[in-house]
Amino acid sequence: MGNILQINYAICFVPVLAIALDMLVGDPPNRWHPVAWLGSIIFAFKRIIPKQGRLVPLISGIAFSLLGSMVIGSIVFLIMKLIHQLPFLYL
């Protein structure tokens, strides 16, 4: 029973902490913002993607989406693995 209460506490605490941190600090500048990085990568990709026909851009877009998902998923996996190795960050 105590384990369930810890999980519920964490679920309630994390959004409150995130909102407080956002109100206190705000968004980081674009240089340090992951969404801005993704936008820059998409812009660069749009410049080099072949534009002939309909099939080549479609396949290129699908490949970019899959590759991007794998990269982000790998980064999240590594961060979670690191968090689980640090006893003070483990939830």
Domain range enclosing 42? 2-85
Q: What is the DSSP letter of 50?
A: -
Tell me, yes or no, whether 91 lies in a domain.
no
What's the CA angle centered on 76, arms 22 and 37, to 5 degrees? Answer: 60
Strand ranges for 1-91 from DSSP E: none
The structural domain count of the chain equals: 1
Residue 17 CA to its chain's centroid (Å): 18
Q: Give the C-alpha distances (Å, rounded to integers) separating 64 from 31, 40, 42, 80.
A: 22, 14, 9, 24
Tell me, yes or no, whether 39 lies in a domain.
yes
pLDDT at 79: 84
Tell me, yes or no, whether 20 lies in a domain.
yes
Tell me, yes or no, whether 28 lies in a domain.
yes
pLDDT at 86: 74
Tell me, yes or no, whether 90 lies in a domain.
no
pLDDT in tens, the chain (91 residues): 555 555 666 677 888 888 998 899 987 787 877 778 888 888 888 888 878 888 988 898 898 889 888 988 898 899 888 877 777 655 5
Q: What are the percentages of helix, strand and coil residues in the chain, rounded to 5?
A: 80, 0, 20
pLDDT at 85: 79
